[in-house]
Structures are given as structure tokens and as C-alpha cells.
A and B are shown apart, each in its own frame.
Chain A
Amino acid sequence: MSEKTASLRESFISALATADTMEALEAIRVEYLGKKGLVTDLLKDMKNLSPEDKKTFGQAVNVLKEEVTEMIAAKREEIKKAEIERENSLMPEFDISTPANLDRGSYHPITLVQRQCEEIFKSMGFAVEDYSEIVTDYECFEALNIPKNHPARDMQDTYYLSNGQLLKSHTSAAQNAIYKKYKDALIREGKPIKAIFPGRCFRNEATDACHENTFFQMEGVMVDKNISISNLIFFMKTMLSEVFQKDIKVRLRPGFFPFVEPGFELDISCLICGGEGCASCKHSGWLELCPCGMIHPEVLKAGGIDPEEYTGFAFGLGLTRLAMMKYGVKDIRDLNSGSLKVLSQFTDDK
């Protein structure tokens, strides 16, 4: 009878070798191990055997059954592995050298330089304030020690509105409101006023590559009991060095602005030529960047602050000018042009 089990084993092995899919394997399993399968069939012949042979043959069939079960399991793993390999092999190699699709948005360059300046001053404890673009004559002039008919009004070609208000000609127009907002904390709690206020300004003039009727400035003020000229120079130098990410040489010259005393024009060493003299700096080696000064006592008074007790500095930085210098924008009109060819390039700059 052992020949029978041996030959069934032979035929199973050769059948298994042909199976290369799960379906084929299952068919073989049913053929050999199913209820009416070939292995079970072997037992049908057992009734004619002696009890001794029955035992021997039964053991042989059980061994074969176990062996077949194991071989099917092994084959199953083999087929599974082959299927995964086949699936992996079907994956194509992609062309990663194609250009990346960035789908970028963009910030206005003024937003970028404004944020850089804001970050610098925020890190030094300055509040960032905002103010309206339409202001009163009082805010823009009177409160800044520029009475009617003062020659300084000639310097400002101001847009006036039919209700007597005006488009603010400088961010200094917010000074009075800032002082009034913070003076109680200064006087009662001893909290120094430290604020910057970026904003849009307007001048009634013809536009060309260097002149715009709408531009941005950033005003900054600091008021406390002992604020000095020395402090002013420190903050100006620090800010400009941070903005340009290099040590910037600055110089102060006397400058006349009615709302500061002393008043200064702050020049920085020319960024293009490094101070050697070039067309950008009109061969002087210096660029005029930022009027500043110690806040005029009358201006503090108008803000409800006693100039005998407190001093402060103020500066007005031309953000538009700064953005042009930083990014090399040559025509100021590009900034308000709305042209995406120009402006979509300013993705982010932190």
C-alpha cells in the first residue's frame, strides 16, 4: 500500500510545481485535501486490510496529509511573495527632474520690509500701532508744532478733502493720538511709550520713477524720563543694521523739522558703493534715509506730556525707499502698479 501513498505524493509534488497563482493552489488543495480529495480517497481502500496493515497504512496516509498541508502552506507564501514582487515591479520610475509646481502667492514688498522692521522693534518691546489715512489738520500739522502759514507747510504738498480733512502727508500725523493713548500709563504707571506706526502717506505731486503721490513710512517714538540723543542714534543704527543684516554706518546732520528739536537728517553709508561714491548716492557716499530728532517740547505738550519731566525721540523711516533699496526696485511706480509680473516675485522674506 505504501506504493500508493508514494505515487500520490509524487503526483502531488509535480501538480504543486505547476501552481503559480492562489487560485491554482486552492484547486490543488481541494483536489488532494478536500472531503472527497485524493488523500482522503486512499482511506477508502483501508477496509480490506489486516488490522496491522490498517494501522501502518493509516499512519502513512496521515503523514502524507500533514506533508501535503505543509507544502501547500509553503507554496502559498511563495506565491504571495511573488505577487508582491510583481506588483512592485509594475510601478514605473517617475521623472523627478521635472520642475516643482510651487503655486506661490506673494506679499507686497512693502509688507515684507514693514514686517522686518516691526519684528526688530517688537523684539525691543515696541508696540505696533496703526492709524487712519485721512486725518485732521490738527493731527497732521497743528499738534506737530506746524501752525498755519508756517514755512514748513510749503514742504508738504498736501491733498485736502472737501470736508477740510486731508490725506496724511507723513506718519507723524499719528503722533498726537499715540501720546494721548499711552500718556496715562507713562505718567501713572511709569511705562515708557515705545511705539512704531507704519502707514500710507500722500503727497500731491506728479509721479515719475523717483516720485509717488502714495507711499509708505514708518514712524517710531520713544518717550520716558531720560531718553537722549545717544539713545536715538543707538536705535536708528540698530534698526538699520538689522534690516540690512550688516553693520551700517550712519551719520547725523542737523535737519529742520518743526516737530523735533534738535532735528536730524540721518544718512547711511551708500549700500551700492559702500561709501566710495556712485550715481545712486550722487557721489557723496551717503544716502539720506530717515529724518529724526528729539520730540519737540510743544509736541509732547500737545500730547498731554510734560516736557520738563519727559523726553523722547521720534523718527520717520521711508518704508517705500527702504523696500526699493533692499530689493533693487528702480521705478517707484512699480509698487502701486498692481503688476503681477513685478509683485508676484516677492514670495516671502523672513
Chain B
Amino acid sequence: MFLSMNWISDFVDLSGLDKLELINKFSLSTAEVENEIFFKGSDLSGIVVAEIMSVENHPESKKLHLLKVDAGEPELTDVVCGAPNVRVGMKTAFAKVGAKIGEIEIAPRKLAGYLSCGMCCSEKELGLSDDNNGIMDLDVNLKNGTDLKEIFEIDDIVFEVDNKSLTNRPDLWGHYGIAREFAAIAGRELKALPVVDLEQYKNLPKLDLKIEDPLCYRYSALRFENITKHVSPMNMRIRLYYCGMRAINLLADLTNYLMLEMGQPMHAFDSRKVDKIRVKRFDAPFKFTTLDEVERDIDENTLMICNGDTPVAIAGIMGGLDSEIVEDTSSLTLESATFDASSIRKSTVRLGHRTDASQRYEKSLDPEMTVPAIARFVKLLLDIDSGAVITSSLTDEYAFKYDDVSLSFDKAFVDRYTGIEISDETILKTLRSLGFGVEYADGSFKVSVPSWRATKDVTLKADIIEEITRIYGYDNFAVNTAAVPLYPVRAAQEKTDEDRIKDILVHRFSLHELHSYVWAYYDEYKALGIEIEDNIELVNATNPNIKTIRKSIIPTQLCQVKANTAYAPDFGVFEIGRTVNGLKEDGLCDEHKKLAITLFSKTKDMETLYFELRDMLAVIADNLKHEPLTFEKIEETSSYKHPKNLNAIWCAGVKLGEIGIANAQVSKKIDKKANIVFAEIDVAELAKIKNASISYEEPSRFPEIEIDLSFVSDKFAPIKAAIDKENCPLIKKVSVVDTYVDESGKSITVRMIFSHPEKTLTREEVMETAENIIKTLEAQNIALKG
């Protein structure tokens, strides 16, 4: 919204103050001001009133005229002018030689063979409106040679406030509300709005007006006749133009002017078309043509202004074409109303049509404003067109009145909230300058909130704090740390685990942490032949490529690996991110925090790479929990998992996730020559596992005995089970020292280290245990290698 300092100055005397400084303070105390400030008129000089003394047609041009003008100088000036509306005796805006209009400096020059020493100007050429129909037609009583800036408010400072920062301030959608803020900031008095007393019309007949729907809070109206002026005064046109609106005709301009001044949207109907005002909704949808000549679909939720049963306007949004003021309108009915804000907001969204009026109504306007707005309208109208006649009394239906808001608090409350000392006098002065009624006694304040702040904005004591502090200025705050009791803070296990996992993977295994999206990307998955698993979906994504939430991070990670194949022949990536595994019983998403790792290698064989990943996971479990991992084969058909070597990962009785190899159909598309393995574990499940404490054991001072046994076996697991079965406390370490394959199959050589805390073991003592292990395994057809 654009704001004019001239307009604001109508209501508060800011003389002697630095306007830019005030605008900056406004930005820090009230609402964000955009950076660019417009100094209107600053690029305009030397424009004076001049009278056209003679007009001759140019001998060779149909458009051009040769004029002699009196610009208040001893000699008449020759001017060549192309405007269609030139006539003898007309007074117009004249740019003398040496005048500046924007970047242009006026100099004598030849136009179609004749010397022109200046230029007659249109409003558009001077940046005063968008009217370019002809040169300005000024009041004939003006003295020739008078500088135009002495006649009109051309010089102005215009600034723009970000509409978003006014969302919660319905009172700031007009200059008068803004002026109130400037008055409070500058410590100056806010002037009363000049109005007429509507009481004088009370004996005139009332209008036929009825609110038939609770969505209309208040509807005030007045009828006028005999309006003879059609063009708004220049200063009004300039203000409208500077604030981003086109001047149209007097009545339209007046309603717009009132809206920009008070924030109250108004609408004028042709009284011939509207003499029985009803405000209501319709039971069935219908079509309605608004005054911008667009046919719109109206549904049963949209509040309408009607003439009897005929809709004539969409309440709070836009008037209808049929009831619009037209050239021969002699009698009009002025509407000044308030509607339910969220109803207007919803209608705006449904219609896809937001107007200057609707964006104000959406903010919950003050219903108390409708009548003063009419009183102000009448004042402005009669000032401009004294022949206008009011033909009705004020007709005012007030269906919904907001409760008065009154808040009580004491000085201690303000001190506690602000943490600084703001004096009672400052509090009183600030609140009063913003229009709050304040009763004060002994550090206690009783505040009545003005109606324009009470529609939703100020309802709590905390809101009052904002009023006091923003005007006090946050820059003026003393900054203090908090005095609070101290207690130790224990970090959440899951968070600690997460941090350590990242440290291990980055610093020990040189992996790279990536981030990705929580949804499946259709085209990327498709390119790799990865099917999207059924899962919960987004219902309103604007990007058609995303919809389904992922069940696993791995498919995303495979897509990322594909994009990085040129980065290095070997690399590994990881992410701790979220997945969703359908819905839980309570209907909410079953969200999981997972660690996903993918390793890519063009140099290592698959087995080496697979065990590298297995060992990374084991290192994590060992570092974080001092627990070993166990694995269990998974049989699963999947578009991206290889059917072999897919294993569930277990730790301390908790299933953590799985480790596997990329399915050949996917890995071939990523890189024909690369091996790709992946693992995914649930971080929350891992966090559940208690960290087994370090169990220290005094090392034996007696020699150890090493026993190596080789078994013909595909798997280590049964050998491990047979050793564990012995539960022999003397076995200190078990390791696989060799595996090899010959004609009898795969053999595994296990080394067991025995030691006794108090004596030197004999070979016989440990061989008994070894024999038992051999027997156990023989029973399973696992023979000792001969």
C-alpha cells in the first residue's frame, strides 16, 4: 500500500521533523516500509500557469497548432502544440524554457519548421495522473506565471508499506490510521477527521434496508441527488494517482479516496436500480456479472447485496454491472458496511478475485467506522459540489457489535514482560496517543481498547505490551541475560547416537553426508527402474512429479549415486532422514528416522565392498553400544534390492534394519562396471539399545594357548554356535584366520585363544573343549578338515 506524507500531514502536524527519519521509525515501530521512497515532484520545476492568447493552425500539419501564450512574462511566447483541446482563453500548465520534467530540460526547438519556446503539458506528462487526453485545463482565475507547485500538492513523499505486515492491523489500511501511528511516534496530536453532522438529515425518509444474514455486521447507507460535478479536484486526483489508483469520475474517486483515507470500502448504487437493500445468501448457485464485465459463478456461501431478490453486488468484493453508476444517474445510494472477515476471505478465494475492498474486509474492519465514513464522504462531496442534496436520513442496520475490550494490569506486569524500566508516564502517554482509554491509579492501569483495535487485534494484556514497547522502540531496550535456576541438561540418546554416527562415518570411513527429499521422485525412480512402493500420499503438491512419501531412503540414495558416478571411482554416501511406513493403528503416519548408507565402487569386488559396509555398521554398534551385530537372511522380491545377500541386521535383540546389494537391473543403469551395496537402519531403534558398559578384566600373567581348527563349512555361524555352546570362560578370543576353497568345498580356520587367570594352561586342558566343539559340529555333518 502506498502512503502519501501530504495526506498523513492532513491529520498530524509533522512540521519541523525529518520525514525520512519518521518513516524509518514507522518501519521499526509499526509496519515494514519498502526500501524505495518516492520523492514526488522533485523532478519537476519551472511549470507555470499560462494563458493561450492565440491559436493558429499549422499550415502543413493537421494536428499541430501555433500558439502564443502568456506565461506571466512581458512578452508572449511562441509554442507549437499538438494537443487537441487548445483554445483561446484557456489556461494551462506550461513548461517554460529551462523547466525540468523528469530527465528532460525544456529548450527552444523547431517543430515542423516553427520555433517552440516551451511546452504545454498534460497531467500525464507531469506525472500527476494518467490523463493524456489533452493539455491541462486550469481554472481561468489563476494568475499567469504562477508556479504549478503553489497551486497543487505536487511535491510529496510517498512510501510503500508491505501489505503482509498489515495483516493484523485493520486500522492501518487508510491514511488516518497511519497518521495516528505517526502522531504517536512523533509525539504530536492527531487531528479530528473533518465531517458533517448527519443528525441534520434525521427527518428525511429512511431507506428500505434489511440485513438478512449474520455475515453482515453493519450496513449504513445514505441517498444523494443533484450531483453536477463529474471531475474530481486536481489535488484529489494527484493523491489517488500517487497512491496507485486511477482517477475515474467524482463519485468513484470519492469512494476510493475514502477507502484510502479511512480504510472503509464504500460503494455507490444507482438509486433507480437499488431501492430495497437486502443482504443475504442464495440457496442455489447462479451467475452474476460484476462491473468489470466478468461473469462470475456465485455459490450458496457467498454473501450478496440485493435489491429485493435481485443480486446487485458481491458483498465486500465488487459491485454488479447492472446497478453501476452511469452517465444519467441522478440519484445514488451510498453503501458503507462491514462483513464477516473470514466469509469475505473464503469468497475471495472461491472467486479467485481479490479487490482493494476485499483485502481490507479480510482484516476484520471496525464496524464503528461505517457512519463516520459516510459523514466524511458527505463533507468531501459538499466541499466539492455544494449543490448536491442529501435525500434520505442515515439508514443504519447494526446487526453485530463487537464486545468492548477492557484490560487491567499493573506496572509490575509491564516490568516483568519487558525486563526493563518504562515509566508510568511513558506508558500512559503511549497508550493514549494510540487512542486507548486509560484509567490510572497507583501503578494500576485499566485500559479500554478503541473499537478500531478491538475487532481481533488487541484482546490480551500481552497485546498492550506490544503497543507500549514498539512505540518505546526496541532499539532503546537494555539487553539482559536471564536469571534462571541452573540444572544439568542430559542430551537425548537418539541425538547423541545420531551425532556419533555422523562422526564415525565421516571421519573414520570418509563417507559424505547428503540430504534428500522425503517423497519419491517419479521420473528419477523411473529412470532407474525403481518401483514406487504404495504409501501415504501428498494431496496438494503443486509439482506433479512428487506425490508418494518414501518408505525407504535407499531408492533416493541410488538416484543420488547415479548423479555422482563421475565424482570418483569409489565413494560412499549417507543420510539420516525420515521415512513413513504406512499408517499406525491411530491413523497417524508411522514415521521413522533412518540412517541410510550406499557405497559405490569401481575398484573393489562385491564381497569386499559388502563386508566393508557390514564392518561400518558393526563399528557403529560397537562404538555406540558395545554390542555385536547378527544377521538373518531375508527373502524378498524388490525392484532395487538384489535377491541375494539381503540380510536383516540385529543388535542386542533389536531388529535395526537391513543390508544388501543393489539389484543388477538398477546398478547396470547406474554404472555397468560398478558394485553398489546399501544398508538402512532405524536410528530410534538403535537408541533403544542400552550401551553395554565396558567390562574390564585383569589380563592373565600366564601364557595363552592358541588352538587353530579348520572345518569344512560354508558358514561361520554354526562353528560360532558350537563354540558358544561350550560357554567356556577360558576362551578369550575367537577369530577366523583363513578361509579357502578346494575340491572338498569351503573350509574355515578358526583360532581360539585360551587363557587362565591363575595358572599356565596345559594343552590337554583346552583340548577337551576343542574335542567337544568338533563333536558338536560332526553331529551337524561339519567335519574337521583332514
Contact = CB atoms under 8 A, between A and B. Distances in A.
Contact of A229 (B469, B512, B559): B469
Contact of B480 (A230, A263, A297): A230
A336 B345 CA distance: 36
A192 interface: yes
Contacts of A134: 549, 578, 580, 588-589, 591
A192 B489 CA distance: 11
Given A160-B539, A252-B474, A294-B465, A106 B482 contact: no
Contact of B542 (A132, A161, A205, A307): A205
A255 B165 contact: yes
Nearest to A263: B466
A152 B541 contact: no
B162 to A, nearest CB: 10
A335 B492 CA distance: 27
Contact of B485 (A126, A190, A264, A348): A190
Interface string A247-263: 00001111110000111
Given A159-B538, A161-B536, A228 B418 contact: yes
B583 A163 contact: yes
A273 interface: no
A111 B502 contact: yes
A311 B362 contact: no
B31 A228 contact: no
Counting chain B CB atoms within 10 Å of each CB, which of A251, A343, A347 scores highest? Answer: A343
Interface in A256-301: 256, 261-265, 282-284, 294, 296-297
A149 B346 contact: yes
B90 to A, nearest CB: 45
B779 interface: no
A165 B538 CA distance: 10
Interface stretch (B3-11, B398-406, B563-571, B747-755): B563-571
Interface in B558-584: 559-560, 563-564, 567-568, 571, 573, 578, 580, 583
Nearest to B168: A256
A56 to B, nearest CB: 57
B542 A204 contact: yes
Contacts of B588: 134, 136, 163, 165
Nearest to A254: B470
A155 interface: yes
A237 interface: yes
B460 A229 contact: no
Given A134-B580, A161-B538, A229-B469, A108 B463 contact: no
Nearest to A283: B35
A202 B578 CA distance: 13
Given A125-B486, A152-B167, A294-B417, A108 B477 contact: no
B494 interface: yes
B183 interface: no
B536 to A, nearest CB: 5
A184 interface: no
B363 A105 contact: no
B510 to A, nearest CB: 4
A254 B485 contact: no
B416 interface: yes
Nearest to A158: B540
Given A163-B588, A340-B571, A234 B481 contact: yes
A165 B590 CA distance: 12
Contact of A338 (B35, B342, B515): B515
Interface string A129-143: 110111010000000
Contacts of A240: none
Contacts of B549: 134, 161
B382 interface: no
A74 interface: no
A151 B567 contact: no
Contacts of A130: 492, 494-495, 593
Nearest to B342: A149
A159 B515 contact: no
Contact of A336 (B35, B475, B515): B515
Interface stretch (B22-30, B76-84, B386-394): B22-30
B28 A253 contact: yes
A183 interface: no
B510 A103 contact: yes
A216 to B, nearest CB: 9
Given A228-B417, A338-B563, A105 B510 contact: yes
Interface string A187-212: 00011101000001010111000000
Counting chain A CB atoms within 10 Å of each CB, which of B460, B462, B578, B589 scores highest? Answer: B462
Interface string B505-542: 11101111111111000000000000000001111111
Contacts of A104: 510
A343 B474 contact: no
A254 B466 CA distance: 8
B587 interface: yes
B285 interface: no
Given A226-B416, A233-B474, A297-B460, A256 B515 contact: no
B479 A234 contact: yes
Interface string B23-66: 00001111110010000000000000000000000000000000
B164 interface: yes
A133 B484 contact: no
A224 B514 CA distance: 38
A296 to B, nearest CB: 7
B284 interface: no
A125 B564 contact: no
Interface string B148-159: 000000000000
A253 B29 CA distance: 6
A275 B537 CA distance: 45
B478 interface: yes
B487 A151 contact: no
Contact of A214 (B482, B518, B540, B564): B518
B475 A251 contact: yes
B341 to A, nearest CB: 8
A107 B465 contact: no
Contact of A127 (B27, B164, B489, B571): B489
B485 A192 contact: yes
Contact of B484 (A132, A161, A224): A224
B515 A222 contact: no
B55 to A, nearest CB: 49
Interface in A293-347: 294, 296-297, 307, 311, 335-341, 343-344, 347
Contacts of B505: 105
A154 to B, nearest CB: 8
A18 interface: no
B540 A254 contact: no
A38 interface: no
Contacts of A1: none
A307 to B, nearest CB: 8
B543 interface: yes
B420 interface: yes
B294 interface: no
Nearest to B496: A128
Contacts of A297: 460-462
A265 B474 CA distance: 11
Given A231-B481, A338-B559, 9 more contacts: A129-B492, A134-B580, A136-B588, A151-B363, A163-B589, A190-B485, A231-B419, A238-B481, A255-B165
15 contacts: A105-B506, A105-B511, A128-B491, A130-B495, A159-B538, A160-B539, A234-B481, A253-B28, A254-B466, A256-B165, A261-B465, A262-B462, A294-B462, A339-B563, A340-B514
Interface of A: 103-108, 110-111, 115, 122, 125-130, 132-134, 136, 149, 151-152, 155, 159-165, 167, 190-192, 194, 200, 202, 204-206, 213-214, 222, 224, 226-231, 233-235, 237-238, 251-256, 261-265, 282-284, 294, 296-297, 307, 311, 335-341, 343-344, 347-348
The 6 A-B residue pairs with the shortest CB-CB distance, nearest first, are A228-B419, A230-B419, A262-B466, A338-B560, A105-B506, A252-B474
